[in-house]
Amino acid sequence: MVDVSQLETREGSPYASAVLNPEPAEFQTALKDSFSTCLEIGCGVSPRSSWRLDKGDVWVGCDPAVSASGNQTLIHLGAPVDRTARMFVFSEIAAEVPEFKPDFLLAVAPNPRSVVEGKVLNEDLEKFLDSKNPQYFLLVLDNRTFEAEVYLGKARQVIKEWMKEHGFNSAQPSELIRQKFRPNSNDLGAFGNTRMCFLRIPGRAVGR
C-alpha cells in the first residue's frame, strides 16, 4: 500500500503524485476524512487535474486511457495542491470507480461526439449523485476541433437534457468555483471553450 503522507507536492512543481487504483480500504478512509471531494471524469492518458485542492480535500480522476502502471502516477496540476490533500486515479471508466458522493464533478474537454453517443453522461454516473447534499457539475467543451464543429451543438443539447433529467439546474459559478476550477487539458484551445455549470440541490424543482 502506498503511504499517502509521502505523496506531497513539491513547492513550485507542476506535478504531484497520486495513488493509482487504490485499495478499497485506503480509498474509503481518505473519503471519510475529507473536507470536500471532486471527481474528474476523463482525466487523460497522462492524468491532469483541473481543481485546486485545499486542506483535507480529495481529488479522484478516472480514465480508461491512463497509461501509468504500478501503485502511483504523476498528475499534471492545473491549480495548487495543499500538502494534506489526497489524490487518486482509477485507470477505468467511471462505472468501475467505487461509489461515493463527490461535492464537485468535472468533465474537461470530453470528445463532443462521445457526449452525443452517451459515452460521457450516462447511467454510470447516477451512483455518484447525492440524495442529501448539493453538488456542482462543471464541463468545458473545446470549440477548436473538427469534431467539436460538427457535434458541439448536439453535445450541448445532450448535456442539458441529462442534467435536467437528473435534477441539475444551470447555474452561475460561485466565487469558490472561480477560485478552484482551472480547466487543464491538452485538448483545450487557448480561447473559445464552452463552459457549462450546473447545480443540483436535492428536493428542489428543476428549471426549464
> At a CB cut-off of 8 Å and minimum separation 6, what does 101 contact?
37, 128, 129, 130, 133, 135
CATH of the domain at 95: 3.40.50
Residue 70 included in any domain = yes
Residue 5 included in any domain = no
CB 50 within 8 A of CB 108: yes
Residue 194 included in any domain = yes
59-116 pLDDT, tens digit per residue, is 999 999 998 889 999 999 999 999 999 999 999 999 999 999 999 999 999 989 999 9
Count of domains in the chain? Answer: 1
Rounded Cα–Cα distance for residues 77 and 85 (Å) = 13
187-202 pLDDT, tens digit per residue, is 886 666 889 999 999 9
CB 156 within 8 A of CB 182: no
Domain that holds residue 40: 17-200
Residue 206 included in any domain = no
124-153 pLDDT, tens digit per residue, is 999 999 999 999 999 999 877 777 789 999
Cβ atoms < 10 Å from Cβ of 158: 18
Residue 28 included in any domain = yes
Residue 195 included in any domain = yes
| pTM flag (> 0.85) | yes
Residue 11 included in any domain = no
